[in-house]
Structure 1
Amino acid sequence: MHLHLLQHSPHQGPARLADWLSSMGHSHTVFHLDAGETPPRLTDCDALVVLDGPVGPLDDTAQPWLKRERKLIARALDSHKPLLGIGFGARLIAEELGAVVSRGTQAETGWHRVVLAPESPLDLPEQFNAFMWHREVFALPEDALPLGSSEASPLQGFSWDARRVVGLLCHLEATRESVEALLANEPLLDGSERSPHIQSSEAMFADPQRFIHLAPLLDRLLSQWLRSPAG
């Protein structure tokens, strides 16, 4: 399979997701619509991934490239091809599906426990630790099923159209290197000083095994997503 990836920041790339694609024999191309690149054609790929990116409101006026990206996501939703959104990408997909996207009550960064929703169609552990970096959240789109929740965020993701479309607030693709790049180049999220769900950089790297444990979770999720009945 060949996948198109939409990236919005040099410091928020596909990380372990790219390694997984290569290990499974899939190819991928990365596009940067925010840098003025022309949107890719869906006919040239088997699946689309929309990566994390800017924080704050989804403002088409301040970010004119967003209109082109929204159109591409809308076409992907109308197609039969798998669509995955992470962080910012999940927000765009949720909004395109009619869900409310807004600022969360508190910022959430570092490692937090996700409790799988009983109705989630994704075969994942009932509880697992995932990396977080967000302030914005989204409501559950109509006809979608919830992934699960964390203490700070009641909805950590969703699936739609028999798992063909998946949106993740949490980051299963994170690696030590990707988190180091994030911390070195991105400002702290607004409200971090007041949130009890913010971890220090020391705490984020205290247990290297956490990054290793993400690998099988990412494998399970991506394998199910690409094998979705509607895909």
Structure 2
Amino acid sequence: AQAIARAMLQMKNRAGKKIHELSKALISDNWEDAQMLDPKTFASFSPEWEKIDPKENESLNQFSGWFPYLMKAGKPGASFSFQFDGTMIGFFDIGGPEVGQITLELDGEKMHFQEKSSINYNAVNESSALIAINRFNQFCNNRYRGQCFFIKTPPGKHQVVLKIASDIPDKQKILGLYQLEDITAHPLKYHRSVIYLGKILIRGSIKTSSH
């Protein structure tokens, strides 16, 4: 014990003050404030939306462990809105033959989208960019697993309004030549614009509102 004490004293006498600088982060995009939230805890929904229990729906029951409830709407123009302070929004939803597209209004202005990847977009004012985000993909000829997407916004406080788009995507083209049997046999099942919202995703903080 005395030897350890002597060694500690020697180290104390030799040690000096030094500034320790952190090295550059491997990933500079900070996600510490990312949140996945139940929609009705803070968002407001237009009357077209209904709250459904996935356990009571045969085709949605497999997702009941992920989502305690889903918000469902199938009418173009049906919207939900919320306020947040941050840099990104998105949602976690369920795909299928009937799903459609989503548009965004940010602070009262209709936005377009720059597609960075299949799930990542930038909200922009450029008229040449996408006007809606399509939630139907090549796997949606059946009930597709939960899927998500992210929209990067300018930093700051924002009023967000997401709406179901009126345009139905070219689902036959998306499915491709080898997956046309079901859509050919049941075209009305696909000629719809339904959204099944499970979670709202944000990077930042929310401002709650009454419903």
Q: Which has the higher contact order (CA 8 A, sep 6+)?
A: 2
Structure 1 length-normalised TM: 0.23
Structure 2 length-normalised TM: 0.24
- Report the structure number with the largest CA radius of gyration: 2
